[in-house]
Amino acid sequence: MIKVDEPRSFSREKQREAGIWQRRFWEHTLRDEEDLQRHMDYIHYNPVKHGLVERVSDWKWSSFHRYVRMGWYDAGWGAGLEDNIDVIGGE
């Protein structure tokens, strides 16, 4: 069992769930390269969207840094996307 310092709800205690996992989820098979790119963009922009950082590159735990080194993303990617947030993720 994973040890988490955060308090858990009665329901999570009963189910022996740690508070770090999201309960609602969905399965999605990537259809093509464009679909993969949309999902990668969503994942990389998420910390900005939720106000955890100001720029994608500021989230130190992101795979974004590896993809920049590989040449898949420009280091400044994500700047100015706040006006087009519905394009990324579609939540």
Contact 67, 27 (CB under 8 A): no
- When pLDDT is averaged across residues 15-33 and rounded to a whole number, the result is 75
| pTM exceeds cut of 0.85 | no
C-alpha to C-alpha distance for 1 and 18, rounded to whole angstroms: 8
pLDDT in tens, 37-48: 999 999 999 999
Is 70 exceeded by the pLDDT of residue 21?
A: no
Q: What is the pLDDT of residue 45?
A: 93
Provide the 3-class DSSP secondary structure of residue 54: coil
pLDDT value, residue 23: 63
Spell out the domain ranges in the chain. 30-87
Of 78, 14, 72, give the one whose Cα is nearest residue 46. Answer: 78
What are 25-83's pLDDT values in tens digits?
778 899 999 999 999 999 999 999 889 999 999 999 999 999 999 999 999 999 988 76
